[in-house]
Structures are given as structure tokens and as C-alpha cells.
Amino acid sequence: MQDKLDELNARLGEIYDLQGAAAVLTWDQLTYMPPGGAVARGRQVALLSRLAHEKLTDPQIGRLLDALRPYAAQMPYDSQVASLVRVTQRIYDKAVKVPAEYVARMTEHTTATYEVWEGARPANDFARVIPYLEKTLDLSREMANFFPGYQHIADPLIDTSDEGMTAATVAAVFAELRAQLVPIVRATTAQPPADDACLHQDYPEEAQLAFGLDIARRFGYDMERGRLDKTAHPFTIGFSTGDVRITTRVKLHDLSDSLFSTLHEAGHAMYEQGVDPTLEGTPLAEGTSAGVHESQSRLWENIVGRSRGLWEFYYPRLQATFPQQLGGVSLDAFYRAINKVQPSLIRTDADEVTYNLHVMVRFDLELALLEGTLAVRDLPEAWRERYAADLGIAPPDDRDGVLQDVHWYGGLIGGAFQGYTLGNIMSAQFYDAAVRAHSSIPAEIAQANSARCMTGCARTSIGTGASSQQRSCCSASPAAG
Amino acid sequence: MQDKLDELNARLGEIYDLQGAAAVLTWDQLTYMPPGGAVARGRQVALLSRLAHEKLTDPQIGRLLDALRPYAAQMPYDSQVASLVRVTQRIYDKAVKVPAEYVARMTEHTTATYEVWEGARPANDFARVIPYLEKTLDLSREMANFFPGYQHIADPLIDTSDEGMTAATVAAVFAELRAQLVPIVRATTAQPPADDACLHQDYPEEAQLAFGLDIARRFGYDMERGRLDKTAHPFTIGFSTGDVRITTRVKLHDLSDSLFSTLHEAGHAMYEQGVDPTLEGTPLAEGTSAGVHESQSRLWENIVGRSRGLWEFYYPRLQATFPQQLGGVSLDAFYRAINKVQPSLIRTDADEVTYNLHVMVRFDLELALLEGTLAVRDLPEAWRERYAADLGIAPPDDRDGVLQDVHWYGGLIGGAFQGYTLGNIMSAQFYDAAVRAHSSIPAEIAQANSARCMTGCARTSIGTGASSQQRSCCSASPAAG
């Protein structure tokens, strides 16, 4: 059995090294690659991805799993061997059930759709993308049907990013949140919004970057195993547990944009840096789910990053960094500014309170599209109606409406959005559990000593492939989950 | 035949895309990778290299070449098809003749040797590397013997980097150069060396980098298909003809170090940027030889870069960039400073005149080691004797003597050095031919209009895999070579 386990680990190691190599190429493409490199780079990334896929779908992987399954069944569920066999089986089954012919067809279509969308969005031309989205919808249903036996056609698509969740379980969670959230939004927005003019002054780029990174480091982001660069859209990318990088963008007249995106990405990155190195090169080193990954970014961005306690420590430093801009602004005024609540049209710009309403709109529309109760051509109107009903404002055009997010135009329809809100919910749950277990946490945050416990929380939710709902935080050792 | 040619091209395309991907990973490792990424990175680069090697030694490549050889034989020698089949055959034969078992053993040994050298050099401890170098010598002989039928045991090793050259042909070229060079060195060094104190003031890093890059761009280095970064040791690396990058290092108190290394690397990079894109993904897109590659870097660094004409244009700009440092220094004084000749101990710091003597010492010692007429343990003494005889100075220790260059400690002994001097010779020949064909070149350089012809020269010597000695410059079209 040890021989078979070793062989499985060796094969998985090559797959993840190929994926890690492809990720380095992607990072370079988005940070420093000159324009002339694009054509060859597309080819190189595609080749590495194809080789990784070929190695994952090698029938020998299936034979090794068949041989190891009875052995793993005798082990505790959360043991490394049982988890490795179970999670590898899951990704192997998914990989072999989706024909290579389909993947090629789907990739070609989504690439073409993305290009059309890139032109259609600034032109506010939804009509242009209709035939593409209709085909995407067909391809999404085709993907779901590679995994028969579902209750709702969206279930296999949701399962791809949030393992173990279904349309029904997500809808139930969202209904509960929504019932409590809508009155809060109404009450908050009945009052005039906070004044955040102090955030919209001239803030030199270098100082913004350095300040955000300083907080991220104190949170626990390890620069010996990471780095911060600038890109058009912020992201986190890992090549191994020893090299997990983040990016941010900087707006000269918006202090919060770079700052909180740096803290958000640092949250994602600390999750991956926190993986036990012995899991490297296996699927156990990947995040548990999109939702759990997002819980870590939102925890650090919002629950810690926008807390009053944190800024009791950092605000005097921020004032010292930007004395002309913030010297006359009180901590209270700054705290209200970074927590301003105001319904808006764009999800990625939304505040912490209204954000989840944006996600729910998208989730419900995805389900309706997949069910066939909503036609693609009727999507813009449905979008406007929901925004008017839920947020009290409707987009004047499709550019800031249904065309705003890349997800449907660069991938499948279904499963793309629920993780954002699941992550928000879990971030609150993790923090709540952490404070119950360690009541000193809020005081430690106010002393900028915030990294200790919650990085431990992240560790408990990674590695065993159990869905995040089964886990509590800071109430058990990482090994026991 | 077209089908077979297409299949060969497709297979070669994958091999070169894997190599290009590995090169991206190497570039990242040397520029921006955090320390924690090193272990996984080593694994990832090794995996990509192994996959490329497996694809190159696939017997199907041999079958395709067998089928295509008669067809290619009917084509003109320099045609793309004939060249592709000929050059691919050459690298295929070399790849299959060297057993994978040997490559693994050799790589393991040279990696270990490099690590020992890294400690031994600063400790001035040649004794520590003796057993390693002795084994390297055995491995070098073993490598040579995979290619029997040579006249001198160094021939196969020389042929690896400078195709078509042998110990005898190199020795003859070197003897001719040496006979003319030694009197020039003696005559020059009989006079007091030029005063280059003006180069050793405070020169801020950003301005140094920008100035060097400005000249490189006017030379013709295309930043749409390249970029400049800082590394410990300058180098050029290409991932495709659309992405060829250079690096430099900056010394605050040495204006010439970064400046001329930028021009040197830009020469290498323009050679690769000049490759016909239709050759991409084949061995025809690689440089013809180490020597020809070096001819391009030395042409731009020395023959153009240190010319009086160039600085007639650039020196007023350099003075405007560094008015405090150079405002009171005349063009004449600056020109003498950047062309200062003085025998020194370190090859990489050597001036244009004495540089080739450093190379000849190493070349002769490599031959003696391989022949067995010199024992590894006697190498330091032999080194000191040759330096005293040839350059008139002997290193006081091995750190600045036999331990200075990485080549023998990170690879095989034999073939490592001759390319530097062959490149110097060819750079002069190329320039001479260029000026004969286009007498306006020196005047155009003085107007900073230097890129036109000589980039054309570089193009003529790439792509057909013919050894550089068979080529003339600017006297024929690129297609005809």
C-alpha cells in the first residue's frame, strides 16, 4: 500500500507542479510581460494545462485509487491518507467524466464570448452577447448533465466551486440572511450616508502601497513566501505553499481601494500560506471551497480591516503618513468613511452591508436561466427589476447592469457567485467562534497583534476537503478539524 | 511529406514551449521570487526540462527525420526545410546519444559542486573543490566519449556550444590573435592607465537604469517585446521571439558597470528579437552558437558602445543627466575613462584589450586537464603562472584566481570559454563587413541612428544553423545567409 501511496503522491506532485508552473506564467502575464509575449504565452499556458489534465486523467490514477480505497476506508475520515484518497477520487471522477472534446469546445466558446463582452460592455450593447450567452447556457446545462442524479440542474455547477452545497441549501441560507438583511439596509439607508470625502484626496501611490502592505504583514502575510505587485485587477495566486503572491491596484484619489483590496488578497494568501507543507503537491493543499477561501479574505478585509479597534492602532500612523490629507480628520470620521453604507450599482464597489444583495440577485438569475424560466434576452429587464426591488436603485444601462461582471462572459452560468456570500457568512461565523474561544482577540487587534488565532482558524478549514459547513473554528486542533 | 513536416513542427513547438515556460520560471526565480519559493521552483523547472527532453528523444522524432531526410536533401542547403531537418537531426542525435541516467548523475554532481564552490570561493579554499572537480573532469571525458571519432577529447564539448569548431581550429585562431594582441597589451600597459575617477562617483540608480535603457532602445532593443530588470548577475533570456528580456545590476559608484552590461545584454536580446517569427518553435530560432551570440553582445557593448562617435551624440545628454558628476569632465576624458586598459585579475571586469588573454588561459587549461597533462590539484599553480606570464600580474589567492568563474563549478570542463573570444573576433569582423558595405555607419552612429544595418547583420547569422564562420555580414540577403 505504501508503494501505491507513494506512486499516487508522485503523480499528483507532477500534476501540481505543472499547475504551479502554469500559474507562474499567468502571474507574469498579468504583471510584467511585454505585449509581444502574449501569443506564445497563451500557447505555453494551454500546453501546461493540457499536460496536467492528461496526467490527472491517466487510468493509472484510477487504478491506484481503486487499490487504495479499502485501505483508506479503515483510516479516520480526517486522516491524511483517507482525505487524500477521498479528495483525489473526487477530482479524478470529475476530470474523467468531462470529455476532452467538451473542454476544448467550451474553452473555445468562453474565450470567444469574453472577447465579444470586452467590446459589448463599454458599448452598452447587450444584444451583441445574447447569442453567445445562449450557447453558454447550453454548455452549462451540458456540463451539469455529465453529473446526472442531481436535484437541481445548478447543483453540479455549484458543487464545482462550493463542494457539498446545492441550489436548495444555498437558497435556504440566502433566504435566512435576506430576511434579516433587508430591514438593516432599509434602516441604514433611511439616514444620510457617511461623508467619505476624506478618502478621495491625493494619495501618492508608493505610500499607499507601503501602508497596505505593512498592515498585511502584521496580519501575518509572510513576505518571505510572498510579494505584492500592481495589476489592473487585484488577485492572489500561489505556486507552492512557499510562494503565494498578491496584487493590488492603486487609485490616486481613492485611499480605500488599494488598502482594502490588499487586505482582502492578503486574507486569501494567508489561507494558502497556512497550509501544512506536507500536503503540498496534493489536492489537500487547495482551498476547501470558493466560499471558505472568500471567508478568509473577507475576515481580514472587513471584520478586522474595517474594525474600530484596528484603526485605534493604525489611524495615528496613517495620519503621520498622510498628514496633509488626514491631519484634520478625526478617527471617528475616518472610521465612518471606511464603513459608509450606500446602495450602489456595482458589486465590486459595494459596501459590506449591501454587497450580499448583489450576490443574491445574480444567484437567483442563474437558477432561473438554468431552469429555463428566464430567457437570456429577458435578462437585462429581470436585472433592473431585481435591483429596483432589492436595492432601491436600477441601472440606467446594461453596462452598469447585467454586463458588469466577467463571470458569465468568461465561464459557465451557474455556481459563479454564491461563494462570495457564503464566504461573508462564514467570515462572521469564524470570527464569532474565534472570539468565543479567545476573548482577548478584539483587544489584541487594537494592539495590532491580530495574526495569532485567526490564522489558526484558516488552517483548520483547509486540507481535509470536508465542506466548510462541517467545521468550527478555534474550537478544535487543526488535525481534528 | 507536408504531413510529416507538420507533425515534426508540432512536436518541436511543444518542446520549445516547454523550454520557454521553464525559462519564464527561471527568470522569475532570478528577479522577483521570494526565498520561500525556491524548493518548489527547482522541482518545477526540472519537471519541465525533463518533459521537454522526453519529447525530444521520442523515437517518433527519429522516424520523422528519417522520412524527411531524402526530401530535405533536394532542397537548397539554406532553405527552411533543409535547415530544419539538418539542425533538428543534430540536436536529436545529441539528445539520444547521452543516456538519461548520465544526465541525472551529471546534474546531481554539478549541483553539488556548485554548492561547494559557493562556500569555497569566499573561503579561498581550493582544496575543498578538488575531489569535485576531479569527478567533473571524469564526467566531462565521459560526455565526450558519447561522441567517438573526435581528434581531440575536447572537440565534442566545444562543438556543443560552438558548432563546427574543434580544439585545433580554436587554438589556431587564438594563436593568431595572441601573436598580435600581446604586443598591443605590452605597448598599452607601458603607459600609465587612463584616469577613470569620473566614473566612480555617486550615480543614482534610477537615472543609471533609464540612461542605459534609452541607448539600448535606440540601438533597436524593442521594449514591446522585452523588458529590463535588476538581478545579481546580468543576463538575457527569451521565452519567444515576442518576449526577450534583459537584466542588469547597478553599482552606485560605478557608472560603467550597469551601462555597458545593459548594452551587452541588449546586443544578445536584439539577436533573438531579430529572428524571423516563422522560425519560432524550432531549433532554427536559437542562436547559431555561443560565439555568434557573444559577437552580437560585444558588438553593441564595445565596438558601438565604447566608440567615440556614439558618445559625441550621447555625452551631452549624459552630462545633462548627471551635471554634478560630469559637468566638468570633457568628452575626451570620459571617452578615455570608458576605454581604460589595465591588466587585472578578474575576467568579467577586464577591459576590451586584455579580456581575450583571460579567455585563452582558461581554454588552454581546459585542454590540458582533459588531456591529462595537468592534474586538478596543480590547477591553481598553473593558473598563477599563466597570469604572471600573460598579464604580468598573478592572483594573491585562489578566490581571485582559479575559483573566480562559475563555469567549471556548475557544469562540465571543456567548451565553456572559447565562445567569448570567438565572439569578440566575430564582432570585429561583422562590424568591418558592415562598414565596407555601408560606409555611412560610423556617421550614423554619431547621430544615434545606429540600429539599421547591424541588426540586419545579426539576422543573417541566425536561423540556418550553419556555423558562423561560414557567414559574412551585410553582404548577402538574410535568406541566402
d(CA A75, CA B240) in angstroms, rounded, equals: 49
What is the DSSP secondary-structure string of B158-184?
HHHHSTT--HHHHHHHHHHHHHHHHHH
| Residue that is written with C-alpha cell 487594537 in the block | A446
3-state secondary structure of A236: strand
Count the Cβ atoms, other than its own, within 10 Å of residue B230: 13
Digit-coded pLDDT (tens) for B181-232: 989 998 988 999 999 999 999 999 999 999 999 999 999 999 999 999 999 8
3-state secondary structure of A220: coil
d(CA A329, CA A456) in angstroms, rounded, equals: 35
Burial of A36 (0-12, 13-18, 19+ CB in 10 A): buried
pLDDT at B189: 86
- A225 and B40 within 8 Å at the Cβ level: the answer is no
The A-side interface with B (CB below 8 A) comprises 13-14, 17-18, 20-22, 24-25, 27-28, 32-41, 43-44, 47-48, 51, 222-227, 229, 239-240, 242-243, 245, 280
| Residue that is written with C-alpha cell 538575457 in the block | B236
Average of per-residue pLDDT across B159-166: 95
C-alpha cell at B271: 539577436
- A43 and B17 within 8 Å at the Cβ level: the answer is yes
- B20 and A33 within 8 Å at the Cβ level: the answer is no
d(CA B412, CA B168) in angstroms, rounded, equals: 19
d(CA A129, CA A114) in angstroms, rounded, equals: 9
Distance of CA B70 to the CA centre of its chain: 35
Given a contact cutoff of 8 angstroms between Cβ atoms, the answer to whether A8 and A61 are in contact is yes
* Chain B interface disruption, residue of A41, A213, A223, most B CBs within 10 A: A41
pLDDT at B143: 97
All residues of chain B having their beta carbon less than 8 Å from the beta carbon of residue A224 are 34-36
**Radius of gyration in angstroms for the set of CA atoms belonging to chain B, rounded to a whole number:** 23
ipTM attached to this prediction: 0.89
For B243, the closest of A36, A225, A280 (CB atoms) is: A36
* Shortest distance, CA B243 to any CA of chain A (angstroms): 5
d(CA B245, CA B306) in angstroms, rounded, equals: 23
C-alpha cell at A72: 483508506
Looking at the annotation, which residues of B are catalytic?
A: 265
d(CA B87, CA B9) in angstroms, rounded, equals: 13
For B39, the closest of A13, A24, A242 (CB atoms) is: A242
- B24 and A36 within 8 Å at the Cβ level: the answer is no
Q: With CA atoms as reference, report the closest residue to B287 among B468, B142, B41.
A: B468
Looking at the annotation, which residues of A are catalytic?
A: 265
pLDDT at B104: 87
Digit-coded pLDDT (tens) for B332-372: 999 999 999 999 999 988 999 999 999 999 999 999 999 99
- A227 and B32 within 8 Å at the Cβ level: the answer is yes
- Length in residues, chain B: 481
| Residue that is written with C-alpha cell 484596528 in the block | A310
CATH match for B124-481 among 1.10.1370.30, 1.20.140.10, 1.10.10.10, 3.40.30.10 = 1.10.1370.30
DSSP code at position B358: H
Q: Identify residue B475 by its one-letter amino acid code.
A: S
pLDDT at A137: 98
d(CA A71, CA A1) in angstroms, rounded, equals: 8
C-alpha cell at A143: 456540463
- Contact pairs from chain A to chain B, CB under 8 Å: 117
For B37, the closest of A37, A48, A243 (CB atoms) is: A243
The B-side interface with A (CB below 8 A) comprises 13-14, 17-18, 20-22, 24-25, 27-28, 32-41, 43-44, 47-48, 51, 222-227, 229, 239-240, 242-243, 245, 280
Per-residue pLDDT of chain A (481 residues; tens, 9 = 90+): 899 999 999 999 999 999 999 999 999 999 999 999 999 999 999 999 999 999 999 999 999 999 999 999 999 999 999 999 999 999 999 999 999 889 889 989 998 999 999 999 999 999 999 999 999 999 999 999 999 999 999 999 999 999 999 999 999 999 999 999 989 998 988 899 999 999 999 999 999 999 999 999 999 999 999 999 999 899 999 999 999 999 999 999 999 999 999 999 999 999 999 999 999 999 999 899 999 999 999 999 999 999 999 999 999 999 999 999 999 999 999 999 999 999 999 998 899 999 999 999 999 999 999 999 999 999 999 999 999 999 999 999 999 999 999 999 999 999 999 999 999 999 999 999 999 999 999 999 998 765 444 444 444 333 333 333 322 223 222 222 2
- Look at residue B468 and tell me whether its pLDDT is greater than 70: no
Q: Is A374 left (phi over 0), alpha (psi -120 to 50) or beta?
A: beta
Chain A residue at shortest CA distance from B223: A34
* Shortest distance, CA B301 to any CA of chain A (angstroms): 24
All residues of chain A having their beta carbon less than 8 Å from the beta carbon of residue B30 are none
Given a contact cutoff of 8 angstroms between Cβ atoms, the answer to whether B246 and B228 are in contact is yes
Specify which residues A230 forms β-bridges with. Answer: A248
Q: With CA atoms as reference, report the closest residue to B163 among B236, B86, B239, B272.
A: B86
pLDDT at B448: 78
pLDDT at B342: 93
pLDDT at B377: 98
Given a contact cutoff of 8 angstroms between Cβ atoms, the answer to whether B418 and B162 are in contact is yes
d(CA B29, CA B410) in angstroms, rounded, equals: 17
Q: With CA atoms as reference, report the closest residue to B54 among A10, A51, A100.
A: A51
Count the Cβ atoms, other than its own, within 10 Å of residue B388: 12
All residues of chain B having their beta carbon less than 8 Å from the beta carbon of residue A20 are 40, 44
Given a contact cutoff of 8 angstroms between Cβ atoms, the answer to whether B282 and B12 are in contact is yes
State chain B's mean pLDDT as an integer.
92
Backbone angles phi, psi at A193, to 5 degrees: -65, 155
Domain ranges of chain A: 2-97, 124-481
Given a contact cutoff of 8 angstroms between Cβ atoms, the answer to whether B408 and B361 are in contact is no
All residues of chain A having their beta carbon less than 8 Å from the beta carbon of residue B28 are 24, 27-28
Burial of A387 (0-12, 13-18, 19+ CB in 10 A): buried
pLDDT at B275: 95
Q: Is A47 left (phi over 0), alpha (psi -120 to 50) or beta?
A: alpha
- B242 and A14 within 8 Å at the Cβ level: the answer is no
* Chain B interface disruption, residue of A17, A24, A45, most B CBs within 10 A: A24
d(CA B276, CA B478) in angstroms, rounded, equals: 10
Given a contact cutoff of 8 angstroms between Cβ atoms, the answer to whether A277 and A241 are in contact is yes
Distance of CA B420 to the CA centre of its chain: 7
d(CA A112, CA A132) in angstroms, rounded, equals: 8
All residues of chain B having their beta carbon less than 8 Å from the beta carbon of residue A280 are 40
d(CA B190, CA A70) in angstroms, rounded, equals: 85
Given a contact cutoff of 8 angstroms between Cβ atoms, the answer to whether A418 and A162 are in contact is yes
